[in-house]
A and B are shown apart, each in its own frame.
Chain A
Amino acid sequence: MTTTLFANPFSEVYTSDVSGSDSSDIINFIFDNNDRYAVSNLANIDTVALDATDTFAYSSLTQATQRYLLVSVVGSVLVTTTAFDYDNATPIVGNLACQGVSAWPGMLLLSTYNVTSLTFTGVTDDTLLKIFHLEL
């Protein structure tokens, strides 16, 4: 599934100072259909709760596609990537750990390609993940 995300307005919302003029800028961004660059391919937005050893996965991913993964973590999670090396043939495995608490959530970022699956495994009970997965 591919949906669209108006990335620029979202970015404006998060980065701009709080003032009337900036708010109108955001509205302009949203309604300006010529802002083609403001649309990204967003494969998934998921909110996932995992207990320890529970898993959540994106599988059968297209190898050549570039991916951007942004995960906010409250609790502790291990993200396992199955992928291929720069030669496009040698298998490699990533074990990306991330943890945080509600006052300071962990942030996991990954710009990558050659990935065929992403598996999220809970390390502690009641781990909450907010996952943004973009196909670029």
Chain B
Amino acid sequence: MIFSRAFYHQYVNSDVDTLVDSAPTVFTVADKSPKLLPEGMQVITRSIATTTSYSVPLPAGYASTSLLQVIVRTNGVLKATIVSPDHANSVSLIYGTSSEAGHYSVVDTVTSLTLYNPTASSVIAEIFLVVLPDLTDPASYLDGEIATGVQA
């Protein structure tokens, strides 16, 4: 909550005669999106048989120094193992059902991603991999429409 002078005068000082107008606030709504390279995006749909592993191929040319958005959807239980150069290995169970997909999503530097099906029936995995640009660099964004307005 922002305690502006106007707010203070209106609700704390409670003397109507002392109300002051706050300065108009100019705001902008900018339509931005990161520049994503087609070769840096990969979608895989894969059936994984019972008690088998699937080593997910990373996008061609991807270096594990870059950020990778990893999204996995599944209709069963999968064990996801991510190896990253920046921290210890990660092992997680993803829980989904035939009527409600299980989700798994990280933004990380990735050396390898393996999905293992520990269950007694095959499951389907949808895997989305997107190489992200340097999100702190303004040059990494496409600029669209910019709307401006004034809040009196």
Interface residues, chain A, CB within 8 Å of chain B? 66, 68, 73, 78, 81, 83, 85-86, 92-101, 103-104, 106-114
B133 to chain A, nearest CB (A): 10
Chain A residue numbers with a CB within 8 Å of B94 are 110-112
A83 and chain B: residue at smallest CB distance:
B93
B91 to chain A, nearest CB (A): 4
Are B92 and A81 in contact (CB-based, < 8 A)? Answer: yes
Main secondary structure, interface of B, reads strand
CA distance A96 to B88 in the complex (A): 10
B72 CB → nearest A CB, Å = 9
B77-99 interface with A by 8 A CB criterion: 77, 79, 82, 84, 86-96
Q: How far is the CB of B120 from chain A (nearest CB, A)?
A: 11
Known: A101-B136, A103-B141. A108 touches B105 (CB 8 A): yes
Q: Report Cα–Cα, A101/B138, bound state, in Å.
A: 11
Choice from B67, B89, B105 contacting A99 with Cβ under 8 Å? B67
13 further interface pairs, Cβ-Cβ under 8 Å (given A103-B32, A111-B104): A92-B91, A95-B84, A95-B88, A95-B89, A96-B108, A98-B108, A101-B136, A103-B141, A104-B32, A104-B135, A107-B107, A108-B105, A113-B93
- Chain B minimum-CB-distance residue to A79: B106
Min C-beta distance of B5 to chain A, whole Å: 26
A115 to chain B, nearest CB (A): 8
